[in-house]
Each structure stands twice: as structure tokens, then as C-alpha cells.
Amino acid sequence: MTAETHFAPGQTLLIDADDTLWENNIYFERAIAAFISYLDHKEYSREEVREKLNEVERENVRLHGYGLTSFRRALVSCFERLSTGPITPAKHERIMSFAQSIADQEIELLEGVAETLPVLASRHRLILMTKGNQVEQADKLARSGLREYFTAVEIPREKDPDAYREVCGKYELTPHTTWMIGNSPKSDINPALASGLHAVYIHHPHTWVLEHELRDEPPPGQHLLEVENFGELGQWF
Ligand SMILES: [Mg+2]
């Protein structure tokens, strides 16, 4: 296939939000860098502290889901595990401020989104599909100004093959005209392919490490496209 290939109008495009439509993980990376500097551990290197934090985040996501509340807890637990002294109220407040800096971010749309999303919406049915905390994600969507381009919004707790099958059932989607578009091999590409959908991988240089995974080969009859930025979707759809 070449980029001149246009898929016929009337496809359903399930579109991820964080690091697909707008920046997200870079704010977490900045907050984590500030946290590690503040912790200033005497034995562990920055990389070792980060690895500890990743472990705590993996556990927290299982227990409390994705989002800022979970992230705040992870920073506090990580500090408790690694710091020699107790967390004083002042230290606790400082740790909270690293997470708060993420909540205070303006929405920054990624390259090509503002121009391309309206074009896609004029040709296809768009459904936003983002995992995470309902309130946080709905709030970001409202602030992004992009809500009008989506016919529906789905915010499952986890984006696994079951979540994709459920959405397909709910909206009576036909797998051969349905695509999942996103930056995460683990949440967007592999589970969508496993549930029979096509997928488009959009590379983002700062995808969260917990979303990294090798991309599966698409089963026969299913497409997996790769693009460098959201704007390139206009050439395909
Ligand atoms: Mg994403």
C-alpha cells in the first residue's frame, strides 16, 4: 500500500487521546525529574530511583487505575520506601506539588491534530477511546476544544482486547472498517489487532515506558499502518 491509498469514507476511527491528540507524558517526565532531584538519594542513581518508581507505578495502576491520583500515591510511596527520614507535612506538600504541576498544564495539541481532525470527522465516524480516570480525561477533552469532532467518548479502565470487543458490540462496529489509532503498542495497537481491528501506530518520542511493547504483526486481512504524526492520517483516511 502507498500513502496515496485512501480508505473509503465511512470507516470508524477509534482515537486515543494522551500522546496521540495532545502532549501528556512529557509533563509526567518533568514531574518525575523534579521528584528525583528533590529526593536526592545518596545511594541510588537517578536511573535506579526511576526504576523503583516504575515498580510502584505498576502496582498502583493495578490497584487504583491510571491518572493523577494514582501518580500522587506512587510518588508518596516511592518517597516512603527510599527516603531515610519520615515524610513531614512540608515534604508531603512538596511531593504533591510535583503532581499538581501536571494538573495545571494547558492542553497542547500535537502536530497536525487541529488541521486534520476536522477533515477526518467530515469523512468518518470518530470515537475517542482513552483509558484513565473518567473525570480527568473528560476534563482534558473539554479543555482541548476537540469534543465536537467525536460522536462518542469511551473511557475504559484498561484498553485490553475485551474493552475493544465491548466498544465494537456497543456501537455495532464492523471490524473490517474499524481502526484503532494511537501511540501505545501495549494499549492501542496490540489489543486492537487481537480483537480483529485494524490499527494505526503514531510514533511519539516520549511514550510512557509502561506502554512500551513490541508491536505485533497484524493477522491476515488486518492492516497495521505506521505514521510519524497525526497530520499524515489525512493521506490515508
Ligand atoms: Mg496514548
Give 88 Cα–ligand 1 centroid separation in angstroms: 35
CATH topology classification for 12-22+109-236: Rossmann fold (3.40.50)
Low-confidence ranges of the chain (pLDDT < 50): none
Distance CA(117)–CA(94), nearest Å, equals: 39
- The CATH code of domain 26-103 reads 1.10.150
Q: What is the pLDDT of residue 4?
A: 55
Q: What is the pLDDT of residue 84?
A: 86
Give 203 Cα–ligand 1 centroid separation in angstroms: 10
Give 18 Cα–ligand 1 centroid separation in angstroms: 4
Q: Where are the domains of the chain?
A: 12-22+109-236, 26-103
Give 204 Cα–ligand 1 centroid separation in angstroms: 9
- The residues whose Cβ lies within 5 A of ligand 1, an ion, are 16, 18-20, 183-184
Give 175 Cα–ligand 1 centroid separation in angstroms: 21
For every residue of 13-52, DSSP letters joined together read EEE--BTTTB--HHHHHHHHHHHHHHH--SSS-HHHHHHH
pTM score of the predicted model:
0.92
Q: What is the pLDDT of residue 6?
A: 85
Pairing of strands 198-202, 224-227: parallel
- Write the burial class of residue 94 (CB in 10 Å: 0-12 exposed, 13-18 middle, 19+ buried): middle
